[in-house]
Structure 1
Amino acid sequence: MEHRIERIGPGGWERMREVRLAQLLDTPMAFMETYETALGHGEDEWRARVERVSAAGSVGFAAVAPDGRWVGTMISFTPVPDEALLVGVWVDPAYRGRGLGVTDGLLDAVLDWAREEAGAHRLLLRVHEDNPRATAFYRRRGFALTGESEPYELDPTGLLLEMALPLD
């Protein structure tokens, strides 16, 4: 399926809202908010989210279908010098699969940003322990479990597992 990878910038708040609601319906455990909470956000919140991923030290990428819909996202930011954190990862089920290249394309864009613009030496992420498909993708791309974990905010009986990829 055709798609292009583009940087999320100002003006994308409506598509940000649309894709976030789709994310929460498809994979609620992968995100730190509920569908109901996200549905209640006003335009100002969605505009603020787009501004945050466009700010210095942050980046957002969207996989865009020929009709302009966002069919995948990856967001990264630098919480501390030398490290980037990957968040907001999602690909529409119709665009999943290694052969389609959407997830790999998004990650390649984040990796380029982390190395070249952010100057990060390591890319971190947290994946829910009950998300083996995501964990397998990250392992295939060279990420390894660090041994660190934290309770999942929306259900503390579940864990978020930390994975890291050296960028040097």
Structure 2
Amino acid sequence: MNQHVIRTVGADEWAAVKELRIAALHDPVAALAFLETVEQAESKSDDFWQERAAGAASGRAVRQFVAEAPGGRWDGTVTVLVEEAGTTDIFDGAVEQPQGHVVGVFVRPEQRGTGLTEALFAAALKWAWSLDGPALERVRLFVHEDNARAEAFYRRFGFEASGTVVPMPTDPSAKELEYVFARPEQA
């Protein structure tokens, strides 16, 4: 039985946010899953990490969820960015409707396949659907065309390929595939 607590980060937990991000960037598929390198993350100031944690702890714009083990170690994370209609997304595309954008998905290798990723996604989507005015109509994410493991999870969880394909910002010869989870009628 999984003993993790799924919760949002606290504004003062910047050191743990930094540690988990750097652990994620050490993952063998990090080059496919993230748009930064270990070196870039490690070079950022403590002020950067403090602002990142504070920004992801409250408000409507972004929320970071973590899976905390009984001993306090963070074993996974997922972040939801809110893209408001009329803005530009991270791929310089026009955002036509209020939507969530899942980024920064990571679960430590020894916790994969335990249900932890599902629990993180469930909490993230619950939060996205709970937002008031305007309601988010969908949550999306992008997955590298060669990241089959992640793509399989997203499909299994209920995300569907939208058909939108964009070049990867760090390697325009590679493709990022958009997957979408539409707002349930009862949300």
Once the 2 structures are TM-superposed, how far is the Cα of residue 121 of structure 1 from its aligned partner?
Answer: 1.6
Letter in 1 for 2:69: A
d(CA) in 2 for partners of 1:136, 1:149: 17
**2:117 is the alignment partner of 1:107:** no
Residue matched to 1:155 = 171
TM-score when normalising by structure 2: 0.84
**2:95 is the alignment partner of 1:92:** no
Q: Deviations over 1:26-51 (max 9, x none)?
A: 03221111111111111001111112
Q: Deviations over 1:45-81 (max 9, x none)?
A: 1111112212422211000112211110010021125
For residue 117 of structure 2, give the secondary structure of its aligned residue in structure 1.
helix
Q: Deviations over 1:64-99 (max 9, x none)?
A: 1122111100100211253111111110001000xx
Task: Answer 1 or 2: which has greater strand percent.
Answer: 1
- Greater shift, 88-97 or 45-54, is seen at 45-54
**2:160 is the alignment partner of 1:144:** yes
- Aligned-CA RMSD value: 1.3
Once the 2 structures are TM-superposed, how far is the Cα of residue 161 of structure 1 from its aligned partner?
Answer: 0.7
Once the 2 structures are TM-superposed, how far is the Cα of residue 153 of structure 1 from its aligned partner?
Answer: 1.7
d(CA) in 1 for partners of 2:172, 2:55: 27
Calculate percent identity across the aligned residue pairs. Answer: 38
Runs of 4+ deviating beyond 2 Å: none
Once the 2 structures are TM-superposed, how far is the Cα of residue 117 of structure 1 from its aligned partner?
Answer: 2.3
The structure with the largest alpha-carbon Rg is 2
d(CA) in 1 for partners of 2:182, 2:15: 34
Given candidates 25, 31, 35, the residue that maps to 1:32 is: 35
- Greater shift, 108-117 or 1-10, is seen at 1-10
Alignment of 1:100-139 (within 5 A): 100-117=114-131, 119-139=135-155
d(CA) in 2 for partners of 1:129, 1:22: 23
TM-score when normalising by structure 1: 0.93
d(CA) in 2 for partners of 1:48, 1:159: 31
Number of matched pairs: 166
Task: Answer 1 or 2: which has greater helix percent.
Answer: 1
Once the 2 structures are TM-superposed, how far is the Cα of residue 10 of structure 1 from its aligned partner?
Answer: 0.7
Once the 2 structures are TM-superposed, how far is the Cα of residue 2 of structure 1 from its aligned partner?
Answer: 2.7
